[in-house]
Chain A
Amino acid sequence: MTTSSPATRALGVVSLGGLVLLLAFALVWSPADIVQQDSVRLMYVHVPTAILAFAACFITTLASAMWLRRRSEGWWVLGGAAAEVGIVFTAICLLTGSIWGRPTWGTYWDWDPRITSTTLLFVLLVGYLALRRIDNEAGDAAQRGMRGAVVGLLLVPNVMIVHYSVDWWRSLHQTATITRLDPSIEGTMLFTLMLGIVVFSLVFAWLLVHRFRVGWLEERVGATGLDQAIVDRRAEADVPVAAGTGT
C-alpha cells in the first residue's frame, strides 16, 4: 500500500526540483554577505523553516478546534501530522540558527528572545506529541481525542504568550544589539530567500500530506484490526463446532 497519488508524486518532484534549484541559488548564484560572508547562506534554510514551524502550530490548533466542532477523525490525524512535521522544522530551525550564531555572534547559544521562545515552542510540541502517543495506545477515538484536542487548541495561545513574555523579558536589559541581518537585503539574496520560503513550503506540504495519509492508514488498521480479530476469534470458535456436527 502506498501513500502517494499522482498529485503528491508531482508535488514531490516539484519539491525535490525546487530544492536542487534552491541549493544552486543559495550556494552558488547568490553573493556572499559583506559582513557575514558565506555564513549568510544559512538564512535560506533558517528563515523558511522558522516560518513553517509556526505555520505548523497554527495548523495543529486549527485542526484541534475543528475536531472539537466536528469530531471527525481526519482533523485529529491532521493535528498530529502537522505537529510532527512542525517539530522537525523547529529542530532544523534551532540547529541552523545555532550553527549560524557561532560565526556571527561568536556563540552557539544566546538568550535571545527568539531562540528562547523557539526552544520553548519545541518543548511544547514535544509535550503535545507525547500526550498523543500515550492516548493512541490508551483506547478508542472519542476518549483520547479530547485531551489531545485541548492541548492542541492551547498550542498557539501558549506559543503567543511565551513569545511575548520572553520578548519583553529580554528587551528590558539587552540594549546592546547583536549583529543582526541587514533588513534591507535585495537582489539575488532576496530572491533566493523567497525561493527558499516557497520551496520549503512545498516540502512541508509534501511531508504533511504523506504523514497525514500514514496517520489515516494507522487509524484504519486500528479499526479494521479489531474487527478482523473478532472475525478470527469467531472463526476459531466455529471450527470445532462445525467439525463436531460434521462427524
Chain B
Amino acid sequence: MFRDAGLVAGKDLRVELRSRVTTQQVAPFAILVLILFGVALDPDRGILTRASSGLFWVAVLFCSLLAIQRAFTIEAADGGRDALRLSGLDPAGIFLGKASAIFVQLVALEVVLAVGVLVMYGTEVTGVPLLLATCLAATAGLAAAGTLYGVLAAGLRVRETLLPILLLPVLAPVLIGATKAFEAALGGVAADGWPWFGLLVTFALLYTTFGTLAFGPLLEES
C-alpha cells in the first residue's frame, strides 16, 4: 500500500513539477488573495495584523480547492482514471498517494503565504513549534478530506462548482482549529493553541482512515 502511495505521489508531483501549474498559477493566486484582503480591509487600522491567522487559512482553503481540482483534472485527460483503475494499484495506496501529493503542494503554498503574511501584514511569530505543528496537522486534514471529496466530484460535469459546496462546510472545523491555534502562535499564548492542534490531528486521522476505506469503491464509479 505504501509503495503504491509513493508511486502515485511521485507521479502527481512530477506532473506538477513539469507543468508548473502550482508555481505559476496557484502560488501567484495565493499572493493575490493576500493583496485583495489588504485592499478590502483597511491596512492602517491594524485589522490585517489582528485577522492575519484567519485570512491566512481562508487563503489556504481557496488554494486547496484549486489544488484538489487540479489533482483530479490531470487524471481526466487521456483516460488517466481508467488507467489508474486498471493499474492494479491498491486503492488505499492511490488515496494516500494523491493526498500526499496535495499535502506537499499545500505545504509549499503555505510557506509562500506565511512569508506574505509576515511581510505584508506585519504579523509577529511567538510560538514556532505550534505554528509548524498546526500547519502540518491542518494540511493533512485538508489533503485527506479534499482527496475524498475530490474523487467524489471528479467524474461529474459540474465538479468545479460542486466541490466547494460539498467540501468547504466539511472543512469548517479545520478553519476554526487552525485559526485559533495560529492566533495562539502569532502573538498569543502558545499553550492555548495546543488543544486546537489536537482537534486538527483528530480530523486528519478521521478523514485519512475513512478515505483509505472508501476510495476504492468511489474510484470505481467516478
- State whether A151 and B166 are in contact (beta carbons under 8 Å apart), knowing that A146-B221, A165-B199 are contacts in the complex: yes
Closest residue on chain B to residue A138 by CB atoms: B156
Of residues 143 to 174 in A, which have CB atoms within 8 Å of B's CB atoms?
Answer: 143, 146-147, 150-151, 154, 157-158, 161-162, 165-166, 168-169, 172
- Is B217 an interface residue, CB under 8 A from the partner? yes
Interface size class of A (residues with CB under 8 A): 20 to 34
- Bound-complex Cα distance A10 to B172 (A): 43
User: Residue A190 at the B interface, CB < 8 A?
Assistant: no
Judging by beta carbons under 8 Å apart, are B177 and A134 in contact?
Answer: no
A157 to B210, CA, bound (A): 11
A124 vs B63: C-alpha distance when bound (angstroms): 21
Q: B169 within 8 Å of A by Cβ? A: yes
Report if B111 contacts A (CB, 8 A).
no
Tell me whether A150 and B214 are in contact (CB under 8 A): yes
A223 within 8 A of B: no
Interface centre among B162, B170, B214 (most CB of A within 10 A): B170
Q: Check A150/B152 contact, CB under 8 A, given A134-B162, A162-B172.
A: yes
Does more than half of chain B's interface fall in helix, strand or loop, or is it mixed?
helix
Q: Is the interface of A mostly helix, strand, loop or mixed?
A: helix
State the CA gap A168–B176 with chains docked (Å): 10
Q: Which of A127, A134, A143, A150 contacts B169 (CB 8 A)?
A: A127
A20 interfacial contact with B, CB 8 Å = no
15 A-B contacts (beta carbon < 8 Å) = A123-B168, A127-B166, A130-B162, A130-B165, A134-B157, A143-B221, A147-B221, A150-B148, A150-B214, A150-B218, A154-B170, A161-B203, A161-B206, A165-B172, A172-B180
B binding-site residues for A, Cβ under 8 Å: 148, 152-153, 156-158, 162, 165-166, 168-170, 172-173, 176-177, 180, 199, 203, 206, 210, 214, 217-218, 220-221
Can you add 11 more A-B contacts, CB < 8 Å, to A161-B203, A166-B173? Answer: A123-B168, A124-B170, A130-B162, A134-B156, A135-B156, A143-B221, A150-B148, A151-B152, A157-B206, A165-B177, A168-B199
